[in-house]
Structures are given as structure tokens and as C-alpha cells.
């Protein structure tokens, strides 16, 4: 025969299970992507299908999205609406296979762009700095960030670029396309210095997707490669996610460490369009295939043979450029309803436990 105490314990256990399941379900729903705006190739003259747009970033100082259109232009669109804003000054940008390929902004709104060189020992890797969107670019680094590495695949830079921090604490990363070296570029306030970071990755693992991660790490991958999380000081892999966890077609990555989110562009085989996929960083350690919290297709299905593009987070919006397939802005709704719902259930659980 059950007494009142037994019933109360069973009720508490049941309510705890309900809370757990409800929180998980509400969290998943809260993390779904919703379209803010989408631009297809051809919607703007600077969005094409000829592999030219590869770099993109969000400028937190203005709320604008900046698109690197190789040496032709840096185009500016409104981050909230996708409306055309104008262009940035590119005076003096020159040199390399592509004079301007990638672009990334620091947390203070200072903008950095880089060329693409296939051999930094003969054609220098260049990094430019714009103090703001109206400024003339300043060449702040020109050289061989591999440190004279004898392996040719370690000397191609400019396929990736990510910036963290601001002012004298800015940190720039650029991975060699088919090598194992990552250029780590820092400044003392007047001079930018590149240090080659020798990673333990397999050659080519980090060549297309690169983003600072949580703590003192970054994440990197490439088409057909596994996603790695690497210590930014030692170059050692702290986590690697096999095909039992993530698809190897996940090629371009962006990270929001504060929200514990990873966004990736999955290069699908036609007739399936490429997709922007959202994951929880905390679930990647589970040795099971991760289903995205949400997945949104790009507006067209064009080949992206170079596997290029860029992702950037700001607030509850993720911006994604898939070369030849357009630019999307997707909101990740704030989980306020989750907090209220879970709070109510937890309060109910507390009352059940206090019942005599």
C-alpha cells in the first residue's frame, strides 16, 4: 500500500521528467532559424555565380554586412533589411592571385581584409585594415606567415580569415589551404606580426572553414574533412568530430561561443541545395550523429566547386554567404518562452516536494 510520501516522491519524479523533456523540446524549438532576408545571385550586381564572392562579415559598429567582391569592390548591405548601402574604399589594394578575397571585422568595428596568395614565399600574403567603413584601407601586414616553411602547401593563404578582439588585443587567424600551418597575426598597437602555428591536423583539414571557438580555441574544416577544434596556442587538436557526429560535407563554419552555437554550410549534391545548418556546440561531444537544431536551404542550387563562403554571428542573427548561391540572414529566436515555461514547471515541482 502506497502512503502519501510515496505518492509525493513519485509525483516529484514525474514532474522532473516532464520538466526535462519540456525544456529539451522548447530549447530545440527556440533555436530554429527564421528568415530575416535572403539575396539570390542576380538580385544585386555584386552577387554572381562566377565564384567571386567568398568573404563576408558583420560590422558590429554599423549593423552592416560587408561582402568582399575580390578586387572589384567591398559592398555594404543593411544587416537588418538586406538593403543596399554602398561600397567601401579599396584604394591601393593590389597583389596576389586575388587582391582581396576575405574580410572580417573586429568587435570594435575595425575591418580587416586579406588577399589570396598561392605561394607566400614569392607573393606576400597581405592584410589590410579599415578604421571604419569610410576609411581608406591601410596595409598592416605583408609577408610570408609560414615563416619560410619548405612545404609548398603550407604557403597558400587567404582562403580563410577570422578576427577576434579589438585595438591592441586584435587576433587574426588565416589557415593554409592545403597545409597544416595556421597564420596567427597579432599587433602591439603599431606593428602586425605573423607567427606560424604548426597544428597536428592532416594537411588540408583547415583550408575552407575557420572560426574562433569557445575559450582559447578555434574550429576548422574543409570539404570532405572532419571538423576539428584546436588550441590556438599549441596547435593541438582538443576535439575532432567524425562522420558519426557531423557530416563531412559541412564545409564553412561560424561560431557564437556566447550562445554555444555552431553554424555550418553543408555542400549538398544537386538536386539538393546547399544548406545552412545550426548545431549546439555542447552536443558535439556526444558520439551520435547530430541532427541540426534547424536547417535552411539556400535560395538556388548552383555548384560551389571551390567550397567557399563565410558565416558570421551577431546577437540572435546568423549571416551566411555560400559562393554562387546567395546571402542569407537568419534569426535564432531568443528562448524567453523557454525560461518562463521551465520556471513555471520547476515552481510546480517545488510545491509538490513540499506537500506533507
CATH number at residue 193: 2.120.10.30
Q: Which grid cell is 223?
A: 570539404
pLDDT at 4: 47
pLDDT at 96: 95
**CA 331 vs CA 170, 265, 271: distances in Å:** 27, 16, 26
- Give the count of domains, the chain: 1
Q: Which grid cell is 321?
A: 554567404
pLDDT at 335: 53
- What's the CA gap between 166 and 145, in Å, rounded? 21
In a domain, 161, yes or no: yes
Question: Which helix (H) or strand (E) element contains residue 347?
Answer: helix 336-354
Q: Are 52 and 101 within 8 A, CB to CB?
A: no
In a domain, 14, yes or no: no
pLDDT at 31: 61
**CA 36 vs CA 161, 208, 254, 278: distances in Å:** 25, 26, 18, 15
Q: Are 223 and 267 within 8 A, CB to CB?
A: yes
- Residue whose cell numbers read 576548422: 220
Q: With H, G, I as helix, E, B as strand and everything else as coil, classify residue 294.
A: strand
- Residue whose cell numbers read 588550441: 231
In a domain, 12, yes or no: no
In a domain, 69, yes or no: yes
Question: Could you tell me the end-to-end alpha-carbon distance of the chain, in angstroms, rounded to an integer?
Answer: 18
Below-70 pLDDT ranges, the chain: 1-31, 286-290, 334-356
In a domain, 27, yes or no: no
pLDDT at 297: 97
In a domain, 24, yes or no: no
- Domain containing 117: what range? 32-332
Buried b (16+ CB within 10 A) or exposed e, 225-250: bbbbbbbbeebebeeebeeebbbbbb
What is the per-residue pLDDT across 285-343, written as a single tens digit (0 to 9) for each?
765 666 889 999 999 999 999 999 999 999 999 999 999 999 999 999 765 433 334 44
pLDDT at 70: 86
In a domain, 251, yes or no: yes
Entry pTM: 0.86
Amino acid at each position: 500500500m502506497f502512503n502519501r510520501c510515496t505518492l509525493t516522491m513519485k509525483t516529484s519524479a514525474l514532474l522532473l521528467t516532464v520538466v526535462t523533456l519540456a525544456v529539451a523540446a522548447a530549447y530545440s524549438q527556440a533555436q530554429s532559424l527564421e528568415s530575416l532576408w535572403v539575396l539570390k545571385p542576380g538580385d544585386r550586381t555584386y552577387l554572381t555565380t562566377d565564384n567571386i564572392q567568398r568573404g563576408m562579415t558583420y560590422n558590429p559598429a554599423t549593423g552592416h554586412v560587408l561582402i568582399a567582391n575580390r578586387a572589384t569592390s567591398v559592398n555594404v548591405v543593411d544587416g537588418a533589411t538586406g538593403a543596399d548601402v554602398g561600397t567601401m574604399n579599396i584604394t591601393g589594394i593590389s597583389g596576389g592571385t586575388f587582391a582581396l578575397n576575405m574580410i572580417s571585422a573586429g568587435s570594435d568595428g575595425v575591418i580587416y581584409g586579406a588577399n589570396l596568395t598561392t605561394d607566400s614565399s614569392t607573393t606576400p600574403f597581405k592584410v589590410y585594415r579599415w578604421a571604419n567603413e569610410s576609411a581608406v584601407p591601410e596595409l598592416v601586414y605583408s609577408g610570408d606567415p609560414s615563416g619560410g616553411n619548405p612545404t609548398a602547401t603550407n604557403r597558400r593563404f587567404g582562403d580563410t580569415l577570422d578576427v577576434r578582439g579589438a585595438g591592441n588585443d586584435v587576433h587574426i587567424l588565416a589557415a593554409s589551404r592545403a597545409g597544416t600551418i595556421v597564420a596567427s597575426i597579432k599587433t602591439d598597437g603599431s606593428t602586425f606580426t605573423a607567427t606560424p602555428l604548426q597544428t597536428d591536423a592532416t594537411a588540408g583539414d583547415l583550408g575552407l572553414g575557420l572560426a574562433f571557438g569557445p575559450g582559447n580555441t578555434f574550429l576548422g574544416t574543409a570539404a570532405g574533412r572532419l571538423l576539428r577544434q584546436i588550441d590556438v596556442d599549441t596547435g593541438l587538436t582538443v576535439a575532432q568530430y567524425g562522420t558519426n557526429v557531423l557530416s563531412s560535407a559541412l564545409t564553412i563554419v561560424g561560431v557564437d561561443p556566447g550562445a554555444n552555437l555552431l553554424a555550418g554550410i553543408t555542400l549538398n549534391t544537386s538536386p539538393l541545395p546547399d544548406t545552412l545548418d545550426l548545431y549546439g556546440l555542447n552536443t558535439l561531444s556526444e558520439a551520435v550523429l547530430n541532427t541540426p537544431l534547424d536547417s535552411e536551404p539556400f535560395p538556388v542550387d548552383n555548384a560551389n566547386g571551390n567550397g567557399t563562403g563565410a558565416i558570421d554571428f551577431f546577437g540572435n542573427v546568423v549571416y551566411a554567404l555560400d559562393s554562387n548561391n546567395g546571402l542569407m540572414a537568419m534569426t535564432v529566436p531568443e528562448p524567453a518562452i523557454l525560461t518562463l515555461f521551465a520556471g513555471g514547471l520547476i515552481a510546480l515541482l517545488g510545491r509538490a516536494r513540499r506537500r506533507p
